[in-house]
Amino acid sequence: MAASLSTLHLHHQLTFFRKPSLSLLNKSIRPTRITASLEFNITFAPPKPKPKLPANLQTDAASLSLPPGQLFIPWIVRGEDGNLKLQSNPPARLIHAIADAKTQPKKKKDKVKKESGGNVKAKLEAEPTRSKAARRFYNENFRDQAQRLSKVLAAAGVASRRSSEALIFEGKVTVNGSVCNTPQTRVDPGRDAIYVNGNRLPKKLPPKIYIALNKPKGYICSLGEKESKSVMCLLDDYFLSWDKRNPGLPKPRLFTVGRLDVATTGLIIVTNDGDFAQQIAHPSSNLSKEYIATVDGVVSKRHLFAISEGTVIEGVHCAPDSVELLPHQPDRPRPRLRIVVHEGRNHEVRELVKNAGLEIHSLKRVRIGGFRLPSDLGLGKHVELKQTDLKTLGWKC
């Protein structure tokens, strides 16, 4: 826009004073009016020319005759004659195609239906997979921690599972002020007040512990207080530092997974997790166990064949998975046999060697499942198992 000021006439002159006199202060002062005549010259840009349509593009006069103010949406279509034309309505074949089109089902829904076997609603409402840290936080803070009363007493270190049941039957256990005589009662130590012989059970149970111990000769796998040389005596130093490492938590009641006789050395696992012990020790787990048997005399092929044939133990025929004669070593004058079994019956390896006509000088277990006894773990020493070690044992923790 261009603007110009033509003329400006002033009809009065303004007089400026430095200091007004006293005589002028008493007089009324009228404001001076300033008048001016303004003239503007405003011009606008010329309108843009309308775009020219291609020569081969025809227009439908009937379709372009729209009422004033109505929005025009052009459709460029090809007519039956093959020429392009401009119209305001969509082609008829497009409208028919939209009307006849079928809604396509979602691919995700079809996949969920296939995975869930038709129960789509149950699959969609299922809890989504969370991270390991999120599951641990949920289990520790929100999940129902109710367990059987006898199991809670055993986990708290009161007594074994059977001894805890005996205490419950004798009426020595109260739950929330009432005597409980049912070992299967579901309780939560964090919420329920549990007393055994008048002593309050801690609200927090000790954590799950898994220890690999290199058992020496002369120690038995027993928890009896009368036994002076139990394998639990080898863990005294572990319990001495328990309060420093786990403040506020009761000491766990540990027990061995399976047993080794008093003369057998090597790998034995100690834990306070009953479910873990049941799975590892049960024959249905089919965990292989490797032993190194040092024998007296000379071993021949006949002995190896007799051992591989197996023998009857407690009315059941038992045969090893493999038998191998180890190479002779200068520092080991007696021959050594590697024997692998999976049933783990009482004195199974000793009975197999005895049935072959050989006499065992020493027997050592070196492997359970996929976990092998560390070579640097001395007799009577122990090491805590890591998550990877538990996985090699087939335990899903």
118 part of a folded domain? no
Continuous segment of H or E residues that includes residue 77: strand 75-78
Q: CB count, 10 Å around CB of 302?
A: 10
Q: CB count, 10 Å around CB of 143?
A: 10
The alpha carbons of the chain give a radius of gyration, in whole angstroms, of 47
Cβ neighbors of 311 (< 8 A, separation 6 or more) are 317, 318, 351, 352, 355
Q: Are 361 and 312 within one domain?
A: yes
Mean pLDDT on 207-211: 90
Using the structure block, give the residue that is written with the tokens 């954590």: 207
Mean pLDDT on 12-21: 42
Decide which of 352 and 24 is more confident: 352
Please tell me the predicted confidence (pLDDT) of residue 3.
Answer: 41
Checking if the pLDDT of 67 tops 60, the result is: no
Q: Are 261 and 384 within one domain?
A: yes
**Gap between the Cα atoms of 194 and 148, Å rounded:** 12
Q: Are 261 and 382 within one domain?
A: yes
Checking if the pLDDT of 329 tops 80, the result is: yes
Confidence at 23, pLDDT banded by 50, 70, 90: very low
Decide which of 242 and 60 is more confident: 242
Checking if the pLDDT of 379 tops 70, the result is: yes
Tokens of 120: 């789509």
Please tell me the predicted confidence (pLDDT) of residue 113.
Answer: 53
111 part of a folded domain? no
Checking if the pLDDT of 305 tops 90, the result is: yes
The candidate with the shortest Cα–Cα distance to 366, out of 170, 165, 214, is: 214
**Gap between the Cα atoms of 188 and 204, Å rounded:** 10
We report the CATH number of the domain holding residue 311 as: 3.30.70.1560
Confidence at 19, pLDDT banded by 50, 70, 90: very low
Checking if the pLDDT of 292 tops 60, the result is: yes
Confidence at 124, pLDDT banded by 50, 70, 90: very low
92 part of a folded domain? no
Checking if the pLDDT of 12 tops 60, the result is: no
Active site residue 188: no
Give the C-alpha distances (Å, rounded to integers) separating 123 from 110, 111, 128, 193, 339. Answer: 12, 11, 10, 39, 49
Q: Which position among 110, 188, 261, 275 bears the catalytic label?
A: 261
**Gap between the Cα atoms of 339 and 82, Å rounded:** 90
**Gap between the Cα atoms of 299 and 301, Å rounded:** 7
Question: How many structural domains does the chain have?
Answer: 3
Checking if the pLDDT of 314 tops 60, the result is: yes
Q: Are 325 and 263 within one domain?
A: no
Q: Are 277 and 319 within one domain?
A: no
Q: CB count, 10 Å around CB of 222?
A: 16
Sheet holding 173-175, edge to edge: 178-179, 173-175, 194-196, 199-200
**Gap between the Cα atoms of 246 and 254, Å rounded:** 16
Mean pLDDT on 285-304: 91
Q: Are 243 and 356 within one domain?
A: no
Which domain-ending residue is among 157, 174, 200? 200
**269 in Cβ contact with 231 (< 8 Å):** no
Range of lowest pLDDT (78-82, 118-122, 204-208, 300-304): 118-122
Please tell me the predicted confidence (pLDDT) of residue 324.
Answer: 93
pLDDT tens profile 147-188: 889 888 888 878 778 888 899 999 999 999 899 998 889 988
Q: Are 158 and 298 within one domain?
A: no
Question: In one letter, which amino acid is 169?
Answer: F
179 part of a folded domain? yes
Q: Are 220 and 277 within one domain?
A: yes
**348 in Cβ contact with 313 (< 8 Å):** yes
Average pLDDT of the chain?
A: 77
44 part of a folded domain? no
Checking if the pLDDT of 32 tops 60, the result is: no
Checking if the pLDDT of 366 tops 60, the result is: yes
**Gap between the Cα atoms of 147 and 188, Å rounded:** 6
Checking if the pLDDT of 40 tops 70, the result is: no
Checking if the pLDDT of 5 tops 80, the result is: no
328 part of a folded domain? yes
83 part of a folded domain? no
Cβ neighbors of 6 (< 8 A, separation 6 or more) are 37, 38, 39
Please tell me the predicted confidence (pLDDT) of residue 52.
Answer: 58
**Gap between the Cα atoms of 342 and 321, Å rounded:** 7
Q: Are 271 and 252 within one domain?
A: yes
Mean pLDDT on 268-289: 85
We report the CATH number of the domain holding residue 267 as: 3.30.70.580
**Gap between the Cα atoms of 174 and 182, Å rounded:** 11
Please tell me the predicted confidence (pLDDT) of residue 51.
Answer: 54
**285 in Cβ contact with 394 (< 8 Å):** yes
Over pLDDT 90: what percentage of the chain? 25
Q: pTM score, two decimals?
A: 0.59
Residues making up the chain, counted from first to last? 397
Which domain-ending residue is among 200, 232, 266? 200
Please tell me the predicted confidence (pLDDT) of residue 10.
Answer: 37
Continuous segment of H or E residues that includes residue 76: strand 75-78
CA angle 349, 286, 310 (to 5 degrees): 35
Q: Are 275 and 294 within one domain?
A: no
Q: Are 214 and 274 within one domain?
A: yes
Using the structure block, give the residue that is written with the tokens 């329920």: 192
97 part of a folded domain? no
**1 in Cβ contact with 43 (< 8 Å):** yes
Tell me 232's DSSP state. G
Confidence at 18, pLDDT banded by 50, 70, 90: very low
Please tell me the predicted confidence (pLDDT) of residue 325.
Answer: 93
We report the CATH number of the domain holding residue 195 as: 3.10.290.10
Domain that holds residue 189: 147-200
Q: CB count, 10 Å around CB of 341?
A: 20
Confidence at 264, pLDDT banded by 50, 70, 90: very high
Q: Are 307 and 358 within one domain?
A: yes
